[in-house]
């Protein structure tokens, strides 16, 4: 177990050192993670609080010194909402990615290692998962299970493992032919030992990269589902802010300060995942490095 962790960590570390894009991606993740953790310290107000001055409610205030990004049509501080919005985004992103990595890696490892019947059954299931339209599936499931962040995570976890499983399987197929695997087999290592001690460390960086892509997908999906009004109404996420702006006519009022910032935040976090994932392309296709 220790060996797996050390090997994986080493691989990830060298990868990050060599790839500037990936480094930027990790920095963005760290930045938003810090914001999410320290949201109560950073946000000047409670994001639900309706502000007023004397008897007058502060509806639709443009950005000012008091409200850095202005207020909503209900007089809520947008900057505070934006800061708190990092929490559900990262929570959904990382927990969905966690399941995606676990399920996808296991399916890929088992299919690629055992081949034959096991492989074709698992790959048929993967094909079926590929046939299910992702966004509609999440909407239907969340729409009927009820609006909650965890239902969104479950819906995504049920489908998103498919890409990871395919890639991991392909990688396992090549790794298992290498001589050190042969050596392990000859020296009498069990299948499980070969899979988890010998093969897994070689493909874990790849699962990690697919996980980072999944973080992006998950955050985009959460935003889309919340935007459509199937999100948790108690939790202020970036998608919820955009939904709120859309239904409150912020577009026709030209309240750019309301609906531009949440989109940029979503984009940055998703980009971070892509930047890290871009490196995976180079690991998969070393030929591309030349260009």
Partner 1 sequence: MQNKWKVIAERFGQMLITLWIIATILFFIFRLMPGNPLVAYIDPTFTEEQQQALMQQFGLDKPLHVQYFVFLKNLVQGELGDSFFFRDSVTNVIAKVLPNTLYLMIFALIIAYTIGILGGILLAWHRGEKIETLGIILTLFTRAAPQFWVGMILLAVFSFQFNIFPSGGASAAGQVFNSEFDKLTSISFYYHLFLPALTLSIYLLGLPLLLMRSNMLDIMNEAYVDMAKMRGLGKFRVMFKYAARNAFLPVVTAMAVGVGYAMGGNVIIETVFSWPGLGRLLVKAVSTSDYPLAQGAFILIAAVMVFMNFMADIIYSLLDPRVTLESRR
One of 65, 179, 187, 252 touching partner 1 (CB under 8 A): 252
Phi/psi at 127 (5° precision): -55, -45
Size of the site for partner 1 (CB under 8 A): 50
Q: Which of 227, 235, 244, 276 binds partner 1 (CB under 8 A)?
A: 227
Q: Count CB-CB contacts under 10 A for residue 24.
A: 14
CB 51 within 8 A of CB 78: no
Number of Cα atoms under 13 Å in the Cβ half of residue 135: 11
Which residue's CB is nearer to partner 1, number 201 or number 261? 261
Cα–Cα distance, 38 to 47 (Å, whole number): 14
How large is the angle between the packed helices 238-247 and 78-114, nearest 10 degrees?
A: 130
Determine which residue in the list 172, 224, 235, 276 makes contact with partner 1, applying CB under 8 A.
Answer: 224
Token pair for residue 269?
């976090």
Residue 204 in contact with residue 105, Cβ under 8 Å?
yes
Nearer to partner 1, 42 or 268 (CB): 268
Q: Which helix (H) or strand (E) holds 56?
A: strand 56-57
**Min dist. Cβ of residue 21 to partner 1 (A):** 9
Backbone angles phi, psi at 263, to 5 degrees: -60, -40
Q: Least distance to partner 1 from the beta carbon of 224, Å?
A: 5
Q: Does 70 bind partner 1 (CB under 8 A)?
A: no
In the complex, least distance from residue 171 CB atom to partner 1, rounded to whole angstroms:
16
Stretch 89-128: interaction string toward partner 1, x if CB under 8 A: ----------------------------------xx--xx
C-alpha 207/C-alpha 248 separation (Å) is 41
Question: Tokens representing 249?
Answer: 């006519």
Please report whether residue 31 would count as binding partner 1 according to CB under 8 A. Answer: no
Q: Is 141 in the site for partner 1 (CB under 8 A)?
A: yes
* Interacting residues toward partner 1 by CB under 8 A: 123-124, 127-128, 130-137, 139-141, 143-146, 216, 220, 223-224, 227-230, 239, 242, 245-246, 251-252, 254, 256, 259-260, 262-263, 266-268, 270-271, 274-275, 278, 287-288, 291
């Amino acid at each position: 177990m220790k060996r797996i962790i050390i090997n994986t960590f080493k691989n990830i570390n060298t990868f990050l050192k060599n790839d500037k894009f990936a480094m930027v991606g990790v920095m963005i993740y760290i930045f938003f993670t810090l914001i999410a953790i320290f949201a109560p310290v950073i946000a000047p107000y409670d994001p639900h609080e309706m502000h007023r001055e004397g008897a007058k409610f502060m509806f639709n205030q443009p950005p000012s010194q008091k409200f850095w990004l202005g207020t909503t049509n209900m007089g809520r501080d947008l900057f505070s909402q934006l800061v708190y919005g990092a929490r559900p985004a990262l929570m959904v992103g990382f927990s969905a990615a966690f399941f995606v990595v676990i399920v996808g890696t296991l399916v890929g490892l088992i299919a690629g290692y055992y081949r034959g019947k096991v492989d074709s059954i698992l790959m048929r299931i993967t094909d079926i998962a590929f046939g299910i339209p992702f966004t509609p599936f999440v909407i239907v499931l969340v729409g009927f299970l009820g609006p909650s962040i965890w239902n969104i995570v479950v819906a995504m976890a049920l489908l998103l493992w498919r890409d990871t499983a395919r890639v991991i399987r392909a990688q396992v197929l090549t790794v298992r032919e290498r001589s050190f695997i042969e050596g392990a087999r000859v020296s009498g290592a069990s299948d499980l030992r070969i899979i988890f001690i010998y093969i897994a460390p070689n493909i874990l960086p790849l699962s990690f990269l697919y996980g980072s892509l999944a973080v992006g997908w998950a955050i985009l999906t959460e935003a889309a589902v919340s935007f459509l009004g199937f999100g948790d109404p108690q939790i202020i996420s970036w998608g919820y802010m955009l939904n709120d702006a859309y239904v409150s006519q912020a577009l026709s009022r030209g309240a750019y300060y309301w609906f531009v910032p949440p989109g940029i935040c979503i984009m940055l976090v998703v980009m971070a995942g892509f930047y890290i994932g871009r490196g995976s392309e180079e690991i998969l296709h070393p030929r591309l490095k030349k260009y």
